[in-house]
Amino acid sequence: MVGYRLVSREYCDKPTVVDVLGVKIGSGAPPVIIAGPCAVESREQLMETARLVRDSGAQFLRGGAFKPRTSPYSFQGLAQKGLEYLAEARKETGLKVITEVMDADSLDIVAGCADVFQIGSRNMQNFHLLRAVGRYNKPVLLKRGLAATVDEWLNAAEYIVQEGNSNVILCERGIRTFENYTRNTLDLSAVGAVKYFSHLPVIVDPSHATGKRHLIGSMSMAAVAAGADGLMIEVHPTPDTAQCDGEQSLNPSQYLNLISEVVKLAHFLRTSRASYNEFY
C-alpha cells in the first residue's frame, strides 16, 4: 500500500546513519555486532558473556530483562534486577546496551541502562508503544513482526519517526511460514527491499530466525553479503543450561569463530565491492 513518507527514499535518498554514542550503524559503516544472551539470567552469566562480547570486538551487548513469552508461566525475565546487571556490564565493558522495552510505562526505567530500545516482533504494531519511543531521544531497534510485510514494517517505523525520533534501526528476524524445520524463515530479501524503499539501516538476527545453532554461521555470512548493516547474535556461556532459547545460542568458541569469519568477510566486501551500490 505504501502509507509511509518520512522513512522513504523519496523523502531522503541519503542513507541514514544512526549514531549510538559514537558507534555508527548504517550504509558506509562496517556492520556492527550486537551479541549477548537471549535473557539476562544472573549477574555472573551476564558479566561473563559481556566480557566475551567485548573481547570479540563487538560494539553492543544484548540481553532481555523483560521477556515476552507465549505462556504466562514461562520465565519472564529478571526485570529490575536484569536492568541493573545490564547497567553494570555496560559500565565495566564499555559496550553499548540494547534491551527490549515492552510497554510505554517502562520506558524511563529501561532508559536508565539502554543505549538502544528494542521493540520486539510481537509489538511491531503496538502503536501506543511506537509513538512513545518516537517521543524519546534514544535510538530504537524495530524488529519485524512475524507476519509483517516489508510495507507494514516501514509503516511501523514511520509511526516512530513521525513523532520526532529518526534514529530507527530495522531488524529482520525471520517470518512465519509453513516450513517448520527452522523456527522462522529468515527473509534476507528484506534487506535489499528495505534499502530499496527506505533510507533506514537494517540489521539481521539469524539466531531467532533459524532457531538452530548450526545455521547461524551460514546465515550470518549471508546477511553480511546481502548488505546488512549489522548482526544480532545470541551467545551464552553454557547454552545447554539457558533459561530460554538455548538451542539457538552459540557457545563462546563458536561465537568467536563466527565473528572472526564475519569480520573478514565484511572487510573483503568493503574493499572489493566499491561498485556494489551500482549493481543496478
Contact indicator for 167, 140 with CB cutoff of 8 Å: yes
C-beta of 189 vs 241, nearer to its own copies:
189
C-beta of 114 vs 160, nearer to its own copies:
160
C-beta of 218 vs 238, nearer to its own copies:
218
Q: How far is the CB of 124 from its own copies (least distance, A)?
A: 8
Q: How far is the CB of 233 from its own copies (least distance, A)?
A: 13
C-beta of 57 vs 127, nearer to its own copies:
127
Q: How far is the CB of 129 from its own copies (least distance, A)?
A: 8
Q: How far is the CB of 220 from its own copies (least distance, A)?
A: 9
Closest CA to 144 of 128, 168, 120: 120
Q: How far is the CB of 76 from its own copies (least distance, A)?
A: 9
Cell of 101: 522495552
Helix 150-162, helix 127-134: angle, nearest 10:
40
Contact indicator for 152, 143 with CB cutoff of 8 Å: no
Note the residue count of the chain: 280
C-beta of 94 vs 257, nearer to its own copies:
257
Q: Tell me, what amino acid is at 6? A: L
C-beta of 20 vs 38, nearer to its own copies:
38
3-state secondary structure of 231: strand
Cβ neighbours of residue 157 closer than 8 Å, sequence gap 6 or more: 4, 7, 142, 168, 170, 198, 200
Q: How far is the CB of 67 from its own copies (least distance, A)?
A: 10
Place of cell 519485524: 144
Q: Tell me, what amino acid is at 160? A: I
Cβ neighbours of residue 241 closer than 8 Å, sequence gap 6 or more: none
